[in-house]
Structure 1
Amino acid sequence: MKNLMILLLTVSWLNVSGQDFEKDVYPTELGDLTFTFIGHGSFMMEWDGQVIHVDPSTREADYTTLPDADLILITHHHGDHCDPSAVAAVEKSGSTVLLTALAKESLGHGTVLPNDETATFKNFTITAIPAYNLVHKRDHGDPFHPKGTCNSYVIEGGGMRIFIGGDTENTPEMKALKDIDIAFLPMNLPYTMTPEMVADAARGFKPDVLYPYHYGSTDPAELVALLKDLDEVNIKVRKMP
């Protein structure tokens, strides 16, 4: 559906037990795709009758009040992305959990989807893209996210391709992506990308819609300014610090 998307609802709100979340809705061949922006790296997708939770975290919301998950995607093992309590709150009989090997060690269950492999869920395919640091490292010299341990995901279905960055920098694998309709790119220093790195990635694969997320204290306006001349990419800023 590249270049054919029409935004139906922008910055509508979902109130759940006193929690207010922004929502965006997009049309697809499988019906409306609804994003609920929970916070940081956590969001929810409702699509083709399925509820998909991405990196649920109790730091961001009371997940006992949110819809149960048909699919849970966990990008990596760090506690703000792999939270056993949040997973338990939305997991039900028959839920599918796709995650990395280290995240499975932390969570205790789930199906490992290694880098560069693809899984099928209902009417969707999910491909794990390597997520890792190129520049930012810990004091002892190891990357915050070593290559091979973390996933980004491409979800494809209903004529749409959605990229979920997780914790990553502007890797060659990301910049080589094609036909991405919606992309979530992290911008939380020092663990992920600077605004300049996000801009570099966006110029590389040109998603129709770009959501900066997991941005901490970084000002998303910096990214908007860096990409002001890139008309192909529509930047949408939501409450995802």
Structure 2
Amino acid sequence: MKTIAVLLLLACVGIKSSAQSYDDFTTQNESRLRISFIGHGTLMFDWNGKIIHIDPWSALANYDTLPKADYVFVTHHHGDHLDSVALSKVFTLDTKIYWSKTCSKQSRFKANAFIVANSDTTETPDFSFIAVPAYNIVNKRNNGMPFHPRGEGNGYIFIFDNLRVYVAGDTEDIPEMKSFGSIDIAFLPVNLPYTMSPEMFKSAVLMLKPKIVYPYHTGKTNLNDLIDLLSGIKSTEIRIRSLQ
């Protein structure tokens, strides 16, 4: 487990920046996955030269300066996740987009766009992935509707050789997490009232048992609270990046 001092020294990503901080991972086949931390719920993967944009959002980065997408994944239809401006910047005629039915209805992008639903497993030419549930149970709007209703959005478990990377999307610590199987790297949102409380975050970690967890979509959450809550879980390393 890294110390708090080390965690707080990690590089930050600025708004509209073209330079991104990243972590590299190597699989059992000596392939490299680079994860770049754009901010909020937005990530970019470089898997053996294939570029995967996740929830690209033009408020966070200058997408004119970032690589075009081989793949785009959108977790749900809210504007900080489904952004047509960012999509237009990374899209090419060869880009494949994966998203929910609700996203498809709300976007003008139709070519090479594929609807995936909770529990769908998909093989691409470069990797496989599983779409998994992402929803609220506790946190709701004033009208009683969850901020993220069940079945409306997706999380994604990416399988890169032996490396399994879970990007949760906007969700709480839902019971389905118990059945997700082994997770090497997890991105979990913690941002009340829309996603998880710090206590829910810990509950999710205990269900998933990831080797590494990144809090993301963190808003104004006190990240030291997360570090303290996970201090007794020696099997999981918490890594703090600039993902407000």
Given that residues 14 and 23 in structure 1 are in contact (C-alpha distance below 8 angstroms), is that contact kept between their aligned partners in structure 2? no
Secondary structure at the aligned position of 2:87 is classed as: helix
Q: Give the equivalent residue in structure 1 for 2:177.
A: 174
Whole-angstrom distance in 2 between the partners of 1:67 and 1:55: 15
Please give the alpha-carbon distance, in whole angstroms, between the structure 2 residues aligned to 1:74 and 1:125.
16
- The one-letter code of the counterpart of 1:147 is R
Higher relative contact order (CA 8 A, sep 6+): 2
**Structure 1 position 144 matched with structure 2 position 143:** no
Change (3 A) 1:134 1:30: farther
For this pair of structures, how many residues does the alignment match? 232
Shift of 1:157: 1.9
Matches within 5 A, 1:12-23: 19-23=18-22
DSSP-derived class of the 1:129 partner: strand
**Structure-2 residue corresponding to 1:99:** 99
Q: CA deviation at 1:105?
A: 1.4
Give the partner amino acid of 2:167: I
State yes or no: 1:212 paired with 2:211: no
Q: Which segments of structure 1 move beyond 3 Å, counting only runs of 4 or more?
A: 10-15, 17-20
Q: Does the 8 A contact of 2:182 with 2:210 survive in 1?
A: yes
Aligned-pair distance for 1:159?
0.8
SS at match of 2:64: helix
Please tell me whether residue 70 in structure 1 is matched to residue 58 in structure 2: no
Unaligned stretches of 5+ residues in structure 2: 1-8
Which structure is higher in strand share?
A: 1
- In the alignment, which residue of structure 2 is the partner of 1:111? 114
Q: Unaligned 5+ residue runs, structure 1?
A: 1-9
Report the counterpart of residue 33 of structure 2 in structure 1: 33
Residues 30 and 158 in structure 1, CA contact (< 8 A), matched pair in contact too? no
Are positions 1:47 and 2:47 aligned together? yes
Hey, what's the Cα distance between the residues in 1 that align with 2:102 and 2:217? 20
Matched residue SS, 2:199: helix
Q: Say if 1:30 and 1:89 are closer, same or farther in 2 by CA, change over 3 A.
A: farther
- Tell me by how many angstroms 1:204 deviates: 1.1
- Between stretches 209-218 and 167-176, larger displacement belongs to 167-176
**Residue 144 of structure 1: SS of its match in structure 2?**
coil
AA partner of residue 139 (structure 1): N
**Residue 183 of structure 1 pairs with residue 182 of structure 2:** no
Q: Which residue of 1 aligns with 2:6?
A: none
Q: Retained in 2: the 8 A contact 1:174–1:205?
A: yes
Residue 205 of structure 2 corresponds to which residue in structure 1?
A: 202
1:199 is paired with a residue whose SS is helix
> How far off is 1:11 after superposition?
5.2
Please state whether the residue corresponding to 1:156 is helix, strand or coil: strand
Q: Supply the distance in 2 between the matched residues of 1:94 and 1:42 (Cα, whole angstroms).
A: 21
SS in 2 for 1:67: coil
Percent identical: 39
Query: Who is 1:6 aligned against?
Result: none
Distance 2:24 2:13 in 1: 12
